[in-house]
Chain A
Amino acid sequence: MHAETKPTDHKAAALAAFKDLQREPGVTKPDPILVVDNVVRRFGGLTAVDVKHVEIQRGSITALIGPNGAGKTTFFNQLTGFDTADAGEWTFNGSRMNGVAAHKVARSGMVRTFQLTKALSKLTVIENMRLGAQNQKGESFFRALLPSSWRAQEDEITARADELLARFKLDAKREDFAGSLSGGQRKLLEMARALMVRPELVMLDEPMAGVNPALTQSLLGHVKDLREQGMTVLFVEHDMDMVRDISDWVIVMAQGTVIAEGPPDTIMSDARVIDAYLGAHHDAPLSEEELEEQLQEAEAALEAEVEEEAGK
């Protein structure tokens, strides 16, 4: 069912699109679905996000990686309307999306999932799925009181939901409360529910977090499936194996900015990326002199400690 190792048309197309690109932050893509310019988000004195320019290629799987606190989730929140950016503009499919409310962003075809899974645990699995469908007649107050006006549409929605549940192997859990699912199954449900919206761009915030290894392969397969069905995927992830396995292009963030872009097989050898990851727990040295200075400081501190030890 899943597109396994065999490269498919969609994968080939995505790889071809990236083939001749420069490996520079903010590089222009041939057919971007999402174009972001100068997005800034500050929390008090801390600048959490400061992205100059980034483009997401249509029909590809793009990974957004970076050390903890790099601003990846905050960036996601800005783009999807869950948090208000201090400045910046971005377009999705050519239409402006900055300042647009979260529910309207979702309706326009840009649907996200959450780092901490938001399966609605007190609704059944099938009700979770039905909730995702758009333009439901029965969701308007007065029509809700006339079941005949929405019954037929509800049946269609249910049929589509059942199809997706079967694909995600959740059909056996159909009538269970979502709260009774395992962590991995919740991730699957959240992804399936997002597909009920019929998105063009699926944004997954750490789809692998808390998923047991048995489900990992299945989840990876589902993400690849999204591309096969013509959707664009942007995901945040820490698991480098997963990033290497499924992404066509990788964007690296550190301290709120995009520091590097490139294909997954070479990105981890990029000097800026190594700096960002290894320097994440210290003040990253900006220049050679600074690095030298930090080393000397560390040496001095060590010597002082040794002397103190000797003095006792």
Chain B
Amino acid sequence: MDWFNIMVTTVEAAVGVETVFYMLAAIGINLHFGYTGLLNFGQAAFLGVAAYGLAVTVVTIGLPFWVGIGIGLASVILLALLLGIPTLRLRADYLAIVTIAAAEIVRLIFRSVTFKDYFGGSDGRYGFSEGFFAMNPFSKGEYGIGPFTFNERVTWVLLIGWILVGLSCLVIYMLMKSPWGRVLKAIREDEEAVRALGKNVFSYKMQSLILGGLIGSFGGYIYALGYASVQPDAFSTELTFYAYTIVILGGAARVFGPVVGSMIFWVLLVFIGNLLNELIEAQYITWMSVNQIGAFRFMLVGLGLVLLLVFRPQGIFGDKREIALDAR
């Protein structure tokens, strides 16, 4: 068994592209769900719309990279308005229903045959990231410490990714220390009380939906650039539910909850995957094949989430007095 290889890939997973991409999606969810109490089950759509906004602008229309980023962000705001205006006045569960459906509609449009010329069908789009890598300050080579290294492209994506994570956390931290954040936390608990005190609840929920969507959209860009391509099925509801798992794991309504949650989530997933792989190849496990690892480790995720909700519903950093998912 190659323990060294398991250790290297596991440690790399703690800071890798996938971790950062989910981290950003989860920071957005944390603003929606953790601080405002909005059940947005369509976070995948925000990431998808941003990533496709970039890809389509550059590949299909042929405009520069930065225009693509701008169009992606504008599309995210538009999506938030579209989802929010009809549903944010209703009870929380309606937003959940509408967002999960909207995310699937968005994904199915991206992969539809009808719009293949624009979105590239199920193959998606690639070849839009030159503008980004043209700015890469790292010359060709491997960067890292000891055995943990990334090539210059991944290093550049990760640098930008972590800067975005840092900025997002800073913004959330400052907002939650401010009267604006106080209104949000109050809305999470009882909208009517907040309304009775003269606050425009609808407007705050909309602001939260837009900001969380924008932070999530950074994750969409990191995905698109990290893999230099976008495929519709990368933005399925699975993404949203992993992001929720990450938020709950790390602790909802905590600034660093999603950051630590995402690291632990991916470290565990990669470690279990690699360990099973090695065990099967070394013939220690004979009752399953290498192909089944993917499905099996997600069963473990489900089990882990159930145990978490039962034994530590506030997550790792959460304060039980402030927010805890009532599983019992």
Contact = CB atoms under 8 A, between A and B. Distances in A.
Contact of A114 (B171, B178, B192): B192
A141 B60 CA distance: 35
B12 to A, nearest CB: 34
Contacts of A147: 174, 177-178
A106 B174 contact: no
Contacts of B185: 122-123
Interface in A3-21: none
B146 interface: no
Contacts of A212: none
B197 A131 contact: yes
B101 interface: no
A112 B183 contact: no
Contacts of A82: 192, 195-196
Given A103-B200, A118-B193, A122-B322, A144 B186 contact: no
Nearest to B194: A131
Interface residues of B, number: 30
B198 interface: yes
A111 B201 CA distance: 16
A179 interface: yes
A148 B221 CA distance: 33
Interface string B172-183: 001101111111
Interface in B39-69: none
B286 to A, nearest CB: 51
Interface string A92-120: 00000000011110110001111000111
A97 B37 CA distance: 30
Interface of B is mostly: helix
Contact of A120 (B175, B180, B181, B189): B189
A120 B184 CA distance: 12
Contact of B180 (A113, A122, A144): A144
A193 B178 contact: no
A179 B195 CA distance: 20
Contact of B197 (A121, A132, A141, A144): A132
B179 A120 contact: no
A141 B195 contact: no
A123 B181 contact: no
Contacts of A134: 198
Interface in B274-321: 321
B194 A145 contact: no
Interface in B142-194: 171, 174-175, 177-183, 185-186, 188-190, 192-194
Contacts of B201: 103
B228 to A, nearest CB: 33
A291 B201 CA distance: 51
A139 B180 contact: yes
A121 B189 contact: yes
A62 interface: no
A120 B190 contact: yes
Interface in A158-191: 177, 179
Nearest to A140: B180
A138 interface: yes
A35 interface: no
B193 A102 contact: no
Contact of B196 (A114, A130, A145, A150): A114
Given A123-B189, A144-B174, A145-B171, A138 B180 contact: yes
A247 interface: no
Interface of A: 80, 82, 101-104, 106-107, 111-114, 118-123, 127, 130-132, 134, 136-141, 144-145, 147, 150, 154, 177, 179, 193-194, 196-197
Top 4 A-B pairs ranked by shortest CB distance? A138-B179, A144-B180, A118-B193, A144-B178
Interface of B: 171, 174-175, 177-183, 185-186, 188-190, 192-201, 207, 211, 321-323
21 contacts: A102-B192, A113-B196, A114-B192, A114-B196, A118-B196, A121-B189, A122-B322, A130-B179, A131-B183, A131-B199, A134-B198, A139-B182, A140-B180, A141-B180, A141-B207, A144-B175, A145-B171, A147-B177, A147-B178, A150-B179, A154-B179
